[in-house]
Amino acid sequence: MKNKRGYLSIVLHSHLPFVKHPEHEFFLEENWLFEAITETYLPLYISFERLKREGIKFQLTMSITPPLISMLTDSLLMERYQRYLDSRLSFLRDEIREDKGSAREKKTLQFYLNRFEELNYFFDVKLNRDILSGFKELQEQGFLEIITCTATHEILPLELNERIREVQVEVGIDAYKRVFGRAPKGIWLGECAYTNGVEKILASNGIKFTFLDTHGVLYAEPQPLYGVHAPIYSEEGVAFFGRDPEASKQVWSAKEGYPGDFNYREFYRDIGYEISAEKVNKYLHPGGFRFDSGIKMHKITGNVPLNKKELYDREKAIATADTHAANFMFNVEKEAEYLLSIMDREPIIVAPFDTELFGHWWFEGSDFIEFLLRKIDKYSDKIETITPFNYLKKYPTNQLSLPAPSTWGDGGYFSVWLNEKNDWVYSHLYMMGKRMIELAEKITTPDNTIERVLTQMGRELLLAESSDWTFLITTGTASNYSIDRVKFHINAFNELYEEVKSNIIDKNLLEFLEERDSIFPFLDYRVFRRKK
C-alpha cells in the first residue's frame, strides 16, 4: 500500500443484561437476547465468514461481555432460542403457503424465510448451538480481536468498594478465559466508565488496552498532543484509545446519520401487532401477548405515521447500505490524510459502537459492516483496518497521560446511572459489597451448603451491580422490570446473608436462585477476599 494514510479501528461492543427465567415457560424479556442473535450476532458472523471465504483481509475488535457469554452458553436459553427460530420458520412457511398479499409482500416474506433458514443452518448445524465457537475461530484466524468487559458491566466509578472494582475486572477476565482459551489483551469498561485508579486495576490484571469516550482522552492530564488519534499510556503502561467523534457521528447521529435513510427497514412496525389473534397464539405466544416478531414488512419511508409506511424493498435497502459504506470509507480516508499531514505517524481512527446497533436497530447495519470491510480491503489504498493491539505493536511509543473521569453515555459523565430516579440503588450496592467481603474473609472452611450460599450471594451481588438496571430506569424503557430485577437481587442477597448469619438455610430457595440467577457457573466466593 503505497499511499497509506492511517488506520481505522472498528470496535463492536456486544452486551445484554443477564435475563433468564426458567420459572416461566415464556418470558418476554428473554426475547432481547433472541432478537440480538437473530438480527445482529448471527448475521455479523455470517458476514465475517463470507468475507473470509472471499479472501478479504480485515481486523475488527469485538467485546463480548460476561453476561452475554453466560447466556450464549446457557443450554436452556439456547433451547428456547431454537424454539424462537422454529416458530418464525413455521409462521413464514404457512404465510407463504397462504399465498396472499402483493408481489412485493410475497417477495419480502420469501426473503425472510431464506434468511431464517440460513440463520437456522448456522445456529443449529454449523455452530451446533454454540455461537461463541464461531467467533472464537475467527479470533484464532486473525480476523477478530475479542476482548472482555467488567463482569456485569458495572459503572466502576460508582462502585465504592475497591475490592469489588477489582472483582468486576477479575471475574470478567475469568469468564473470557474459560470460553476463548487465553487471557484477553483488552477490556471494555462498562459504558466506557473510567475514573482515576481504574488504570491500576487493569495493569495488575495484565490488561494492555481499553477505550474511552473522546473527552476521557482529550481531557487527560497532561493534554495529549495527538488528541484521540493515538493512544495514551498511564504510568503503569495501560493504553487508552479515545473515540473519534468525526468517524462515528454518521452512524450514531439520530438525525443526520445513515440509519435514518428512508429506504431502510422500519423498526417500529412489526407484523406481530398486525396478524390475527389466532396466529399470535400459534406462533408468538401461547398466552396471546403481542410483541415484536422480528418480521417487519415496511421501510422508514419518511417522517410519516406508522400506518403510512410503504413496503420494504430489500434490494433498494441493500444498495443504500453499499453507498453508505462507500461514503464512510471516503470520509475516513480524508480524515486520515489530513491527520497524517500534521502527525509524525499514521493516525488511528477509533470507531466504537454498540454491536446491537448493527442489525437489530439498524437492520441493514450488518450488511454495512460487510460492505465497508470488503471495500477497504479491495479498493482503499489509504486506510487499513487494525486492532488496537496491532497498532500498539507498530507504534509502541506513546504519550504518558492520565485519562479523565468520563463515560460514553448521554452527557459524557455519570448522570444517566446516577440521578433522582435511581440513586437509591447505590447505598445497597456499597453495603452489600462490604457484607460480601466480610463473609468471604471470615468464613474459611464452609460446609458444602454454606459454600453454595456464599457463592450465590456473589452472583446476586454482581447481578445487582449491572449498569443496565439503572440505565433502563432512567430511559424509562422496561423500567418496571429493571426496578423489580435490582430489588430482587438486593433482597435475595440480604436474605442469604441473614441465613448464613443465623445458620438456617432454606434449601428450596437456594436451588431456585441457583437455577434462575445462574450467571458465572464457575464463581468461587473466595474471589471477594481482599489481597494482602
Beta strands 60-64 and 383-385 are unpaired
Catalytic positions, please? Answer: 191, 354
SS3 152: coil
Instruction: Give the residue from 17, 139, 123 showing the smallest Cα distance to 70.
Output: 17
409-448 residues near other proteins, rule: CB under 8 A: 409-415, 418-419, 423, 426-428, 430-431, 434-435
DSSP state of 355: G
139-198 residues near other proteins, rule: CB under 8 A: 157-158, 160, 162, 195-196
Question: In the complex with other proteins, which residue's Cβ is closer, 113 or 456?
Answer: 456
The grid coordinates of residue 19 equal 435475563
Q: Distance between CA 519 and CA 513 in Å, rounded?
A: 10
Minimal distance, residue 374 CB to other proteins, in Å: 25
User: Which of 342, 444, 502, 503 is in the footprint of other proteins by CB under 8 A?
Assistant: 342
Beta strands 239-242 and 232-233 are antiparallel
Reading phi first (left if > 0) and then psi (alpha if -120 to 50, else beta), residue 33 is in alpha
Question: In the complex with other proteins, which residue's Cβ is closer, 102 or 502?
Answer: 502
Minimal distance, residue 99 CB to other proteins, in Å: 30
CA 511 from chain center: how many Å?
29
User: Which of 56, 76, 343, 450 is in the footprint of other proteins by CB under 8 A?
Assistant: 343
Q: Distance between CA 25 and CA 83 in Å, rounded?
A: 11
Minimal distance, residue 262 CB to other proteins, in Å: 17
Interface stretch with other proteins, choices 54-62, 274-282, 353-361, 368-376 (CB under 8 A): 353-361
User: Which of 289, 330, 361, 522 is in the footprint of other proteins by CB under 8 A?
Assistant: 361
Minimal distance, residue 27 CB to other proteins, in Å: 13
Q: Distance between CA 17 and CA 152 in Å, rounded?
A: 8
Instruction: Give the residue from 445, 453, 458 showing the smallest Cα distance to 507.
Output: 453
222 upstream amide cis, omega within 30 of 0: yes
Question: In the complex with other proteins, which residue's Cβ is closer, 50 or 394?
Answer: 394
17-76 residues near other proteins, rule: CB under 8 A: 23, 25, 32
SS3 204: helix
SS3 186: strand
Q: Using alpha carbons, list the distances in angstroms from residue 373 to 56, 57, 382, 383.
A: 8, 8, 14, 11
DSSP state of 40: I
Question: In the complex with other proteins, which residue's Cβ is closer, 51 or 335?
Answer: 335
The grid coordinates of residue 494 equal 440480604
Interface with other proteins (CB under 8 A), residue total 100
User: Which of 75, 276, 303, 341 is in the footprint of other proteins by CB under 8 A?
Assistant: 341
Question: In the complex with other proteins, which residue's Cβ is closer, 196 or 281?
Answer: 196
Question: In the complex with other proteins, which residue's Cβ is closer, 114 or 223?
Answer: 223
Instruction: Give the residue from 220, 139, 222 showing the smallest Cα distance to 182.
Output: 139
Minimal distance, residue 232 CB to other proteins, in Å: 9
Interface stretch with other proteins, choices 64-72, 114-122, 173-181, 355-363 (CB under 8 A): 355-363
Question: In the complex with other proteins, which residue's Cβ is closer, 122 or 252?
Answer: 252
Question: In the complex with other proteins, which residue's Cβ is closer, 319 or 400?
Answer: 400
391-410 residues near other proteins, rule: CB under 8 A: 392-393, 396-400, 404-406, 409-410
First to last CA, the chain: 52
200-259 residues near other proteins, rule: CB under 8 A: 203, 208, 213-215, 218-228, 233, 235-237, 239, 243-246, 248-249, 252-255, 257, 259
DSSP state of 268: S
Q: Is 86 in the site for other proteins (CB under 8 A)?
A: no
Minimal distance, residue 424 CB to other proteins, in Å: 8
Question: In the complex with other proteins, which residue's Cβ is closer, 96 or 431?
Answer: 431
Minimal distance, residue 242 CB to other proteins, in Å: 9
Q: Mutual orientation of helices 75-98 and 103-120 as an angle, nearest 10°?
A: 150
277-336 residues near other proteins, rule: CB under 8 A: 291-292
Minimal distance, residue 527 CB to other proteins, in Å: 21
471-530 residues near other proteins, rule: CB under 8 A: 472, 475, 477-478, 487-488, 490-492, 494-495, 506, 508-509, 512-513
Instruction: Give the residue from 395, 396, 354, 377 showing the smallest Cα distance to 59.
Output: 377
The answer to whether 242 touches 254, Cβ cutoff 8 Å, is no
Q: Distance between CA 457 and CA 157 in Å, rounded?
A: 22
Interface stretch with other proteins, choices 98-106, 170-178, 319-327, 337-345 (CB under 8 A): 337-345
Q: Distance between CA 376 and CA 4 in Å, rounded?
A: 12
Minimal distance, residue 282 CB to other proteins, in Å: 15
